[in-house]
Structure formats: structure tokens, C-alpha cells
Chains A and B, each alone.
Chain A
Amino acid sequence: MRRDFITYCFGYLAALSLTGIAFACVFYRLLPPVQTFALVLVLALIQVIVHMRCFLHISLKRSARADLQLILFSAMIILLMVGGTLVVLFNLSARMM
């Protein structure tokens, strides 16, 4: 009971602080736009991992679960499709200019 509760609380507080940092960076314009966006993306990635670990209970340790393999495979598909789309279309639009 205790441990599960602590996991959820940790996830909630971590997600809240990561969100707070990201919004604060944009609100106070602490960095130039490009660096700000890069930092926001890194914070989002960390927060996705926190959500996966604390709320969706995916962990590397219990790797007997097929869930983890499914998620990693989907992440690879997503990376290929999104990355491919962006590269091809930005390249196209640069050539059309």
C-alpha cells in the first residue's frame, strides 16, 4: 500500500515540477527560442518516461512482460515515421523556396 502510494506521489510531483520548469523557461524567456525549445523537448521526454514508470507501471526490470517490447517497437516505428516525414517534407520545402 505505502509503496504504491509513494510511487504515484513521486510520479505526480516529478511530472508537476518538470511541467513547471518547462513553463517557467518559456514564461520568463530564460534562453533564446531555439535553446528553450530544445530544453522543453528534453523535459517532455523525461516526463514521458516518468509517466510510463510511475503511472503506467512499465519498468525494465520485469522484462518478461511483452508490454515493454511492444512499446519499444512502437517507439521505433514512430521515430522512423515522424523523423522520415519531417526530413522529407522540410527538404522538399527548402528546395521549393
Chain B
Amino acid sequence: MARLTTEPELRHAGLNLADDPREVREQVESDVFGFWVFLMSDAVMFALLFAVYGTMRHATAGGPGPEQEFKFHSAFWETALLLTSSFAYGMVSLSMKHARGQLWLALWLGITFCLGAGFLKMEIHDFLTMFHDGATPERSGYLSSFFVLVGMHGFHVLSGLTWILLMGVQLAVFGPDDRVKVNLIRLGLFWHFLDLIWVVIFSVVYLEGLSL
């Protein structure tokens, strides 16, 4: 990380480090880079779950397949909710970067949380409907791989929601100091990354299944 340029533009939206000494900035750079390494290892895991899903695609063993189980409208609205929550987190980053005050930060964080929770609620509802139809993970190799892949993403969203709550507590207790800001940057990367994984899920899993 030695080749820091001196351009005034900040590398990571969100942190007001323009006046901070160089050491602080380099520390932040390496913290955020470390989080990128984690995200990419997570991406490799998701990629392999996608590969398993692809090879299991026709292993329905006579059980329910995507044609019967996927609902077009709920897939679309889930996508819209998660994308909008990603945009809302962008507004969190902007309020932080331009020091718009803690109220704006908390407001956008709350909106992000509500949209993410709405996504998760719809997804759980979908899963319960599938269970009701007898489409349980043990029914076929196809359904096992589906629930592992989509369920893993849902679990990540749940972790992200917990993290948002924790950041709310940190903001209330410490205020937006440097450490809280770095945590918010990492949470932002995590949250945008989850939306990115969902783009691949709705394309490869839902739209592929529904286009038949």
C-alpha cells in the first residue's frame, strides 16, 4: 500500500480523512483492503455453490422443479428491495463523507435496515411456501443445492442486518468517530457485495428457471 497518491479525491467514499495525517489514512487503506480479501474469499465460496447448483440443475428426481416453485413477482420485488437498500446505504456513505450530521446517517441506516428486512421477510415467506408444497431440501439434489445457495445468501443478509443494528448502537454510544467510520465503510462494502451476489442469483437461478 506504499503507492499512495496525493490526489485530494478519497479512495473510499465515506471517510473524511482529508485533514488526517498520512498514517491514519494508510491504516484505513489496509483495514479496508483486508475486508476486500474476506469478501473475495466469500465470492469464491458463492461461486462454487453456483457451480454445484449448475451441475444439480436437472437432478430433480421427479420432485418439484423451478417451473412450479419460483414466483416471478416475488423474485422481482425481492430484487427491487435489495437494490434500493444498496442505494440507501450509498446515502449512508455520502452523509458520512460530507458530515451531514448524525441524524441523516441514522435515518439512511434505518431505511437500509427496513428494506433489507423486507427482502428477508419475502424470502422466508417464499421458502415456507416451498416447504408447504413439499419442496424441502431433502427432496432432491436440485432442491438441496438451491437451498444451500439461496439460503447462504439469506444468511449473509441476516448477518448484515445484525451488523447494521450493531452500527446503530456504536453510532449512539461513540458518535461518528474514526473507528465507527471505518466500520461503516466495511459494512457498506459487505452490503453492496450482497446485492452483487443477488444479481447473479436472480439471473442464474430465478430467471433461468422461469425462462423455460
Q: Which residues of A contact B (CB under 8 A)?
A: 1, 4-5, 8, 11-12, 15-16, 19, 22-23, 25-27, 29, 33, 36-37, 40-41, 43-44, 47-48, 51-52, 55-57, 62, 64-67, 70-71, 74, 77-78, 81-82, 85-86, 89-90, 93
Contact = CB atoms under 8 A, between A and B. Distances in A.
A78 B195 CA distance: 18
B61 interface: no
A74 B13 contact: no
Interface stretch (B84-92, B121-129, B131-139): B84-92
A86 B47 CA distance: 11
B192 A55 contact: yes
B155 interface: no
A56 B200 contact: no
A92 B13 CA distance: 47
Contact of B211 (A8, A26, A65, A86): A26
A12 B13 contact: no
Contact of A51 (B37, B47, B199, B203): B199
Contact of A85 (B51, B86, B98, B199): B51
